[in-house]
Amino acid sequence: MKVRHFVIVLLLVSNITFSSGFLDVFVAAASVVYTYFERDDLLPFDSKRLEEDLRENFFGQHIASNVIRRAVSSFMTDSKPNKPLALSFHGTSGTGKNHAAKIIARNVYEKGEDSKHVHTFISEHHFPHKQKLDLYSAQLKQWIHESVSRFPRSMFIFDEMDKMHPQLIDAIKPFLDYNARVDGVSFRKAIFVFLSNAGGDVITGVTLDFWREGNIRENLWMDSKELEIKISQNIFNDKNSGFLHSNIIDEHLVDHYIPFLPLELKHVRQCVMVEMVHLNVTQDSDLADEVARDMPYFPKEERIYAVKGCKSVRQKLAQHID
């Protein structure tokens, strides 16, 4: 109806008259154009493309890869979802949480993370002053509401969620609810991704114990050590976490708490190989091994997991090249 009204007004302003039949054809054509612009930058979703992207560019995270693939594919192919997709990524720094969010974005939008429909908020950068929480909350609500009203398939990434004040987390809550419609706008097609270091120590401890028991890393799944339950309990019991005082957990509005495991040397080596491509350096497995081994690892005796994951890999590679 909006298109029809727009066209009629346009014709009246232009002092143009058409027969009813021609007007219907014209309105139909305009509707196609309107729909095209509404879908601007939105890729036709392909679950196989997402699966391949995760397999080729997301290292050492078989649990996260599996949950992300299933959750995003199910959501994107559901013509009538009953709530927005809400994913919470948990793990220590450098394990690939930001990278995973970017992979989702580039499989939903033509411009990936650079799409105007992908909105990233960093807690300590965008909301630095506690005395301005009322202002931040109002601005955040307005930003989310206006973004989705313009483009229903908007994506919101909240980094450093563990440092976010509960008042700001509760500002997001209305948009995450089942059959969410806020001030006449439906949020059921929006995507929310929360990135957090909360639960990172629990995940690392479970992974290390699993290794010390002589188990293969890839045999560790969400239910094998009640990993998801342990993550949610850790978040809920963390007095420093904004989640503790927020209603988001209580009302079960997060669809998946996804663990990002600490990375091993072989995964860091894979990251180095990818960075060689980005730096236009001929891929060299020996050099990749040298760079990977030069990174710090823990525990001190076994040196199993990379302290910084794949962070600083590009800088370390650049030093070796120089």
98 belongs to an annotated ligand binding site:
yes
Hey, is 119 helix, strand or coil?
strand
Structural tokens at position 130: 């506690």
- Using the structure block, give the residue that is written with the tokens 């699993």: 210
Distance between CA 236 and CA 257 in Å, rounded? 12
Q: Tell me: is residue 116 an annotated ligand-binding position.
A: no
Q: What is the largest CA-CA distance in the chain?
A: 84
Task: Give yes or no for a contact between 186 and 193, defined as CB atoms under 8 angstroms apart.
Answer: no
Residue 205 annotated as part of some ligand binding site: no
The answer to whether the annotation marks 92 as part of a ligand binding site is yes
- 111 labelled binding-site residue: no
Residues comprising the chain, all counted: 322
Angle formed by the axes of helices 265-278 and 313-321, nearest 10°: 70
Answer yes or no: is 66 a known binding residue: no
Contact status, residue 89 vs residue 191, Cβ threshold 8 Å:
no
The answer to whether the CB of 253 falls within 8 A of the CB of 55 is no
Closest CA to 86 of 255, 258, 257: 255
Binding residues for ATP: 91-98
Binding residues: 91-98
